[in-house]
A and B are shown apart, each in its own frame.
Chain A
């Protein structure tokens, strides 16, 4: 199985900050990586797939990069609605997919 290690597990930030979350794959996954946002009591929401492709309707302040083993999710000019938990997912070994452990973005 391909393991994904997210860092940090949590971070504190203020509205307007830029934040970066990293996801490291245990082996090569090409561009088979997605990022999700999850708010309490809600299902995850797809933000980015193919490492850097923005899902329809997702604000452009979200961006993804990387090609293995390290991938990053960057949120520019953090907005109040962006405080949430973010997960990476690898789907290169589809249908056997795996998720990272999550990064909680909290208010400083």
Chain B
């Protein structure tokens, strides 16, 4: 059974930093692109970042580029999102998702339950 478990969400002050983690089980982790998607309270889904299975390719939404860094450790079946210079607009639940990669692209077929990040003083 595929499981994705996020952790690290917390209340952080504006301008602060936070590191989120996602641990996967039930899959050969290194075979998959992985992504972070966030959802602000009462709002829609927003793609944040993705990383290729071997970590060699990373992509970011314009809204977080230069502030967030995605990484992975395939030996630990884990993926991280380092977030810096956080602002109120980053308040959201952050989901970890697996990419069903086919034909050089793909949707997100498994999702974690999410971890909350609140940016407030």
A residues near B, CB below 8 A? 1, 32, 34, 36, 38, 42-46, 49, 55, 87, 89, 91-92, 94-102
By the criterion CB–CB under 8 Å, are A49 and B111 in contact?
A: no
Instruction: Name 7 A/B residue pairs within 8 A (Cβ), A-sorted.
Output: A49-B107, A49-B109, A94-B99, A96-B47, A96-B59, A99-B47, A102-B44
Please tell me if the beta carbons of A55 and B44 are within 8 angstroms of each other in the complex.
no
Q: Which residue of A lies closest to B51 (CB)?
A: A95
Minimal beta-carbon separation of A39 from chain B (angstroms): 12
20 more A-B residue pairs beyond the given contacts A94-B99, A94-B106, with a C-beta to C-beta distance below 8 A = A36-B45, A42-B113, A43-B111, A43-B112, A43-B114, A44-B108, A44-B111, A46-B107, A49-B109, A89-B45, A91-B105, A94-B50, A94-B105, A95-B35, A95-B59, A96-B61, A97-B35, A97-B47, A98-B47, A100-B44
Report Cα–Cα, A98/B61, bound state, in Å.
9
- Interface residues of B, Cβ cutoff 8 Å to A: 33, 35, 37, 44-47, 50, 52, 57, 59, 61-62, 95, 97, 99-100, 104-109, 111-114
How many A-B contacts if CB must be within 8 Å?
65
Also in contact, A46 and B104, with CB within 8 A (given A95-B57, A102-B44): no
Give CA–CA (A43, B46) in the complex, Å: 13
Lowest 9 A-B CB distances belong to which pairs?
A: A94-B105, A34-B107, A43-B111, A95-B59, A95-B50, A49-B107, A99-B45, A102-B44, A91-B105
Nearest CB in chain B to that of A32: its residue: B105
